[in-house]
Homo-oligomer: A and B are copies of this chain.
Amino acid sequence: MEKSESTKIEIAETSKERKGKAPLLGAVPPVAAEHVRGRYKRGISIFDLILRISAMSLALAATVIMGTAEQTLPFFTQFFQFQASYDDLPTFAFFVVAMAIVSGYLVLSIPFSIVCIARPLAVGPRLLLIILDTMIVTLTTAAAGSSAAIVYLAHNGNSDANWLAICQQFTDFCQTTSEAVVAAFIAVALLVFMIVLSAFALRKH
Contacts and interface: CB of A to CB of B under 8 A. Distances in A.
Interface of A: 2, 6, 9, 13, 16-17, 19-21, 23-24, 27, 30, 84, 88-91, 123, 126-127, 130-131, 134-135, 137-138, 141-150, 152-154, 156, 158, 160-164, 166, 188, 192, 195-196, 198-200, 202-205
24 contacts: A20-B20, A88-B160, A88-B161, A89-B161, A90-B156, A127-B199, A127-B200, A127-B203, A134-B134, A134-B195, A134-B199, A135-B192, A137-B141, A138-B138, A138-B141, A138-B188, A142-B148, A145-B145, A145-B146, A147-B149, A161-B163, A162-B164, A162-B166, A163-B163
A88 B158 contact: yes
Overall SS of chain A's interface:
helix
Contacts of A130: 195-196, 199
A8 to B, nearest CB: 11
How many copies of this protein are present in the complex? Answer: 2
Given A2-B6, A23-B24, A145-B149, 6 more contacts: A16-B24, A20-B23, A127-B200, A131-B196, A162-B166, A202-B202
Contact of A203 (B84, B123, B158, B162): B123
A12 B4 CA distance: 16
A197 to B, nearest CB: 10
Given A89-B161, A141-B145, A145-B143, A30 B23 contact: yes
Contacts of A153: 91, 150, 153, 163
